[in-house]
Amino acid sequence: MKLKDFIGIMNGLAPVQFSEGWDNPGLLAGDSAMEISKVYVALDATSDVIEAAHEAGAELILTHHPLIFKPVRHVSSDDHVGRRVMKILSYGMALFAMHTDFDVTCMGNEAATKLGLIEAKVLEPTIGEEYGMGAFGYLKEDLKLKELADKVKADFDLDHVTVYGDPEETMVKVAVMPGSGSSVIDVACIEGCDVLITGDISHHDGIDALEKGISIIDAGHYGIEKLFTGFMCRFIGDKIKEVEAVEDKTGEKAWLR
């Protein structure tokens, strides 16, 4: 399959025009006319990921986070981003990222599904009312905060989470924001959520959230966003028979669990 045709299918799933203005998804390195038969799916294009993709025989690395994020003035071995771009190209591979375009179309819904939320809706709409960041809904059964924390660990395969709130308080309405979620604490409060499940919450943000009447379960940035790799491997396996998807496992070593 031509890479450009693969990209067309990806854009059908998560249109690049749905991404945030500050973001940089899409084809970041490589020739759109090249043939691909194997895709290595990862959260980030780390050096370990690049080597693993090469060893797996992949022609394309598909990541959630864009390796090239800020404007690039040069590509050289003097820069950590440049070194990785050069390595990808030297191996004859390409790099494609799906970031906030994927977040607004798939990530929040996938996280809500993983948690088993019912009557789920978009937490922070960005494209009409149908697409946006995060999700919120109701638990199938009321849980104490400590029970919900255990459920989050089980559902997302985590060894630990950080909890801000009364462990005995009953949770009914839940918001989930994969990645960094401090910016949607107020949104979750407005929606009447009892708890926000997210990542990258500072000590002060956690304390402030409690003052606003909402508990927090911090599952880490990687903890929920790692849904991307499994989701994309299943999607490619179901929709694109000409391409084999390989799910990255190096990220499990790179992040504290």
20 lies in the same domain as 75: yes
Residue 8: the pLDDT is: 98
Report which DSSP code applies to 184.
G
Residue 250: the pLDDT is: 87
Write out residues in the chain with pLDDT < 70, as ranges.
251-257
The DSSP element (H or E) to which 81 belongs, if any, is helix 80-90
Task: Look up tokens 């499990």; give the residue.
Answer: 252
Residue 257 forms part of a structural domain: no
133 lies in the same domain as 200: yes
- What's the rounded Cα separation, in Å, for the pair 227 and 222? 9
Residue 89: the pLDDT is: 97
217 lies in the same domain as 231: no
Residue 125 forms part of a structural domain: yes
9 lies in the same domain as 80: yes
Residue 253: the pLDDT is: 56
Residue 223: the pLDDT is: 93
Q: What CATH number should be reported for the domain holding residue 115? A: 3.40.1390.30
Q: Which domain holds residue 164?
A: 102-221
The DSSP element (H or E) to which 210 belongs, if any, is helix 203-211
Residue 213: the pLDDT is: 98
Whole-number Cα distances in Å, 33 to 1, 7, 25, 147: 9, 11, 18, 51
Residue 71 forms part of a structural domain: yes
Residue 88 forms part of a structural domain: yes
Tokens standing for 241? 């028979």
Which candidate, 64, 147, 144, places its Cα nearest to that of 102? Answer: 64
Q: Which class for 195: exposed (0-12), middle (13-18), buried (19 or more C-beta within 10 A)?
A: buried
**The total number of structural domains that make up the chain:** 2
159 lies in the same domain as 123: yes
**Which residues have C-beta within 8 Å of that of residue 114, sequence separation ≥ 6?**
155, 156, 227
Which candidate, 130, 127, 151, 122, places its Cα nearest to that of 139? Answer: 151
9 lies in the same domain as 118: no
87 lies in the same domain as 14: yes
166 lies in the same domain as 178: yes
38 lies in the same domain as 9: yes
97 lies in the same domain as 34: yes
Report which DSSP code applies to 215.
E
Report which DSSP code applies to 72.
P
64 lies in the same domain as 144: no
